[in-house]
Amino acid sequence: MPSNLMIGERCFDWGQRTYLMGILNVTPDSFSDGGEFNTASAALAQAQALVAAGADIIDVGGQSTRPGAKQITLAAELDRVLSVLQVLRPKISVPISVDTTRASVAKAAVEAGADIVNDISGGTFDLDMLSTVANLNVPIVIMHIRGNPQTMQQQTDYQNLMAEIYSFLAEQITAATAAGIAQDKIIIDPGIGFAKTYEQNLEIFRCLQLLKPLKCPILIGASRKSFIGRILNQPDPKARVWGTAAACCAAIFNGADILRVHDVQQMRDVSLVADALFRATARLDF
> What CATH number is associated with residue 73?
3.20.20.20
Contacts of 86 (CB under 8 A, 6+ apart): 40, 112, 113
d(CA 255, CA 170): 17
* Residue 253 forms part of a structural domain: yes
Domain that holds residue 235: 16-277
Whether residue 169 lies inside any domain: the answer is yes
Would 213 be classed as within a structural domain? yes
Q: Express each pLDDT in 6-49 by its tens digit.
A: 999 899 999 999 999 999 988 764 444 445 566 888 889 999 99
Active-site choice (146, 196, 225, 240): 225
- pLDDT confidence band for 157 (50 / 70 / 90): very high
For 190-208, what is each residue's pLDDT tens digit? 999 999 999 999 999 999 9
Cα separation of 154 and 9, whole Å?
Answer: 41
Is 174 within a domain?
Answer: yes
Catalytic position from the list 107, 224, 260, 268: 260
DSSP code string of 153-180: GG----SSHHHHHHHHHHHHHHHHHHHT
The answer to whether residue 196 sits within a structural domain is yes
Answer whether 99's CB lies under 8 Å from 123's CB.
no
> What Å distances lie between residue 90 and 21, 81, 111, 115, CA to CA?
19, 15, 13, 13
Structural domain includes residue 161:
yes
Question: Is 225 noted as a catalytic residue in this protein?
Answer: yes
pLDDT at 28: 67
Tell me, yes or no, whether 95 lies in a domain. Answer: yes
pLDDT in tens, 207-223: 999 999 999 999 999 99
Per the annotation, the verdict on 70 as an active-site residue is no
Give me the number of domains the chain comprises. 1
Burial group, residue 174, by CB count within 10 angstroms (0-12, 13-18, 19+): exposed
Chain length of the chain: 286
Q: Is residue 234 part of a domain?
A: yes
